[in-house]
Amino acid sequence: MYRLLIVDDEEIITDGLYEVLSNLMPDQLDVCKAYSAKEALGWMSRSRIDIVMTDIAMPGMNGLELSEEILMFWPRCKVIFLTGHSEFDFAYRAFQMPDVRYLLKTEGYAKVTEAVKGALSDIHRCNMESKLLERSREQMYAYEFMAQGDYMRHLLQESDVLCAEQDVIVQEFSRLNIRLDPTKSVMLVLARLSYPEGITYTERSQLLASARMVWDSYLKDHAGNIGIVDRHGDLLWFLQPLSKGNEMQGGDFIQYMEGVLELVQEVCQATLCLDISLTISGTCCEWIATTQQYERLRRLQQLKIGDGISMILRDRDETIDDLASKEGFLSGRKIEILAAHLEAGRSEEFFAELEQLSSSALQHNEHVQKSIEAYYSVALMLYACLNRLGLHCRIDDHDKLMRLDGHSSMKDGFCYLKQTAEAIFLYKHSEERDRTSQVIDRICEYIDEHLSEDISLVRLAEIHYFNPSYLSRFFKQERGINLSEHIDTCRARKAKQLLRDGDLKVREVAVSVGYEAAHSFTRFFKKVTGMTPQEYRETLAAT
């Protein structure tokens, strides 16, 4: 989803443009408004801006200066100057800026919508050009991926040991050409790629390399980074801001990164048909603490809600509990793979691996100890999962998990493991659906109780710890309508109630449902009901 910001100190113009453009393409365009350059800069600091439509002549900071500020943070932002001034100086200065459009307010809404669609087409074209699939670069990335990946995966397991002596890790980074500074804090981003079904290993590797190239094209100007594949098959990025004075540090860097990651998601989906779900650090951490931070992100990733859509989750202190200690690792690659699939909710992959493991154990009866070891390894993993989820009371004879002699045969034992896993997957799916329903209900309740306040998509996302575009897609997936449509329905319902039951003036009703200008409320109400507020009230009085 793209974000358009309308800026004009004349409220009637801003509100009119907002109403027209909000209905232009609600699935693709989130429209925000500001009545001053200062308010616009506030929007910029809160969320990514893709298109800014601004008046040039405004008190304080003018539109040209505002656009320069926005382009410093969002260089890919498209600018549309909308002004009543046709003087040569304004037009000349505007045209000196790259990729801008210049419209007079007298040209009407048709020209405005045409300019917005043109800007969106430019953005889409730029995204398509970001594919950059040169084979030579793919080979270079593949080599660095292997050379650096082994070391970084090792560091993830024992960062408290490997990073204890700073001189040693500085030398290692230099030898492996890792372009990050081990003396400065680092941000982690955990990515889960939803690969298309039926693709080969080579095709999967090519998609991964292409996604890394998209990532680098968007990050090269603001962040140093290295990505590796972790033991669960997910992609983990280490990020640091580039040294440019005191800009883009700490929380500002993380907030900026969230907007950039959203662009990476959209480009990968548009050009590669690849959905990516991201979990990011809430704060930068020291290298010695990366093991702990990585484990936090893995835990947070399991709290996701909504199926089949890209998302961005940020680690916050209240989201998950701190890890008191590192979790033990089960021996055997098969058990690690099973644990990863169980944790991620990938049932088909889990049962395919379990079937392969059980078949191997049952077909080689001469290796009885190996079969017993395989059974108890899986049983211990499932038992630990039951313990974490508190499901012992829901599983019949759960004590049989750790008693192989409680089954009539080894085959029956593995069948019981499969039944237990099926019950766990069923519970996890049910729990996720319940959590989804609770989140949507909480958002709807907040909207009903705060109609007179700021309930823009960005504001709702901030309050409920969502990424704005993810919230928009998630809400529509769950309710079948756009979030903006739901808000309009709530406003219309409350407006009818206030017009019917109270003695409030139309102007007061407008404010109560979030419209500062009575004329904007009147247009909205007539569009929804076919009548003006006064006509609606008179109709009620006549019945």
pLDDT in tens, the chain (543 residues): 888 999 998 888 898 899 889 888 888 899 999 999 999 988 888 888 889 999 888 888 888 888 888 888 788 889 998 877 655 455 556 555 666 788 887 888 888 899 999 888 888 887 776 655 455 566 666 676 677 888 898 898 888 888 988 899 999 998 888 889 999 999 999 988 888 888 898 888 888 888 888 888 887 777 888 888 888 788 899 999 886 544 455 567 888 888 888 888 888 888 888 888 888 888 889 999 999 899 888 867 755 544 556 678 887 654 434 433 333 333 456 787 888 888 878 888 899 989 888 887 777 544 566 777 888 888 888 888 888 877 766 666 667 788 877 777 778 888 989 988 988 888 877 776 777 778 888 899 999 999 999 998 888 988 877 788 888 888 888 888 999 999 999 999 999 999 987 788 999 999 999 998 889 999 999 999 999 999 998 888 776
Rounded Cα–Cα distance for residues 283 and 315 (Å): 8
For the chain, the maximum distance between any two Cα atoms, rounded to a whole number of angstroms, is: 92
Q: Which residues of 76-105 are buried (b: 16+ CB within 10 A; e: fewer)?
A: bbbbbbbbeeeeeebbeebeeeeebbbbeb
Structure tokens at 365: 């009866």
Rounded Cα–Cα distance for residues 490 and 486 (Å): 6
Q: Are 115 and 101 in contact (CB under 8 A)?
A: yes
Name every residue whose Cβ is closer than 8 Å to that of residue 397 and which is 6 or more positions away in sequence.
Answer: 406
DSSP 288: G
Rounded Cα–Cα distance for residues 50 and 70 (Å): 10
Same-domain check for residues 220 and 269: yes
User: For position 85, what pLDDT does the model report?
Assistant: 61
Q: Is 462 inside any structural domain?
A: yes
Rounded Cα–Cα distance for residues 287 and 295 (Å): 14
Rounded Cα–Cα distance for residues 266 and 261 (Å): 9
Q: φ, ψ for residue 229 (rounded to 5)?
A: -95, 125
Rounded Cα–Cα distance for residues 360 and 374 (Å): 10
CB neighbours of residue 128 within 10 Å: 11
Q: Is 85 inside any structural domain?
A: yes
Rounded Cα–Cα distance for residues 123 and 531 (Å): 39
CATH code, domain carrying 466: 1.10.10.60
Q: Which domain holds residue 58?
A: 2-129
Name every residue whose Cβ is closer than 8 Å to that of residue 497 and which is 6 or more positions away in sequence.
Answer: none
Q: Quick one: 500 exposed, middle or buried, by C-beta within 10 A (0-12, 13-18, 19+)? A: exposed
CA quadruple 430, 436, 440, 446: dihedral positive or negative? positive
Q: Is 308 inside any structural domain?
A: yes
CB-facing half-sphere around the CA of 26: CA atoms within 13 A: 17
Q: Is 91 inside any structural domain?
A: yes
Same-domain check for residues 231 and 139: yes
Start-to-end Cα distance in the chain: 45
Same-domain check for residues 244 and 164: yes
pTM above 0.85? no
Q: Is 321 inside any structural domain?
A: no
Same-domain check for residues 117 and 140: no
Q: Is 320 inside any structural domain?
A: no
DSSP 285: B
Same-domain check for residues 297 and 351: no
Same-domain check for residues 124 and 139: no
Same-domain check for residues 125 and 149: no
Q: Is 280 helix (H, G, I), strand (E, B) or coil?
A: strand
Same-domain check for residues 155 and 285: yes
CATH code, domain carrying 236: 3.30.70.1230
Same-domain check for residues 406 and 468: no
User: For position 493, what pLDDT does the model report?
Assistant: 93
Same-domain check for residues 114 and 139: no
Q: Are 30 and 1 in contact (CB under 8 A)?
A: yes
Q: In the listed set 129, 157, 175, which residue is the last one of a domain according to the structure?
A: 129
CA quadruple 411, 414, 420, 421: dihedral positive or negative? negative
CATH code, domain carrying 26: 3.40.50.2300
CA quadruple 245, 251, 253, 259: dihedral positive or negative? negative
Same-domain check for residues 7 and 56: yes
Q: φ, ψ for residue 8 (rounded to 5)?
A: -160, 135
Rounded Cα–Cα distance for residues 303 and 429 (Å): 12
Q: In the listed set 110, 129, 148, which residue is the last one of a domain according to the structure?
A: 129
Rounded Cα–Cα distance for residues 505 and 183 (Å): 64
Q: In the listed set 262, 285, 314, which residue is the last one of a domain according to the structure?
A: 314
Rounded Cα–Cα distance for residues 67 and 54 (Å): 8
Which value, to the nearest 10 degrees, does the dihedral of the CA atoms of residues 532, 536, 537, 540 take?
170
Number of folded domains that form the chain: 4
Q: Is 40 inside any structural domain?
A: yes
User: For position 327, what pLDDT does the model report?
Assistant: 33
Structure tokens at 204: 């999967």
Same-domain check for residues 78 and 64: yes
Q: Is 534 inside any structural domain?
A: yes
Q: φ, ψ for residue 29 (rounded to 5)?
A: -130, 120
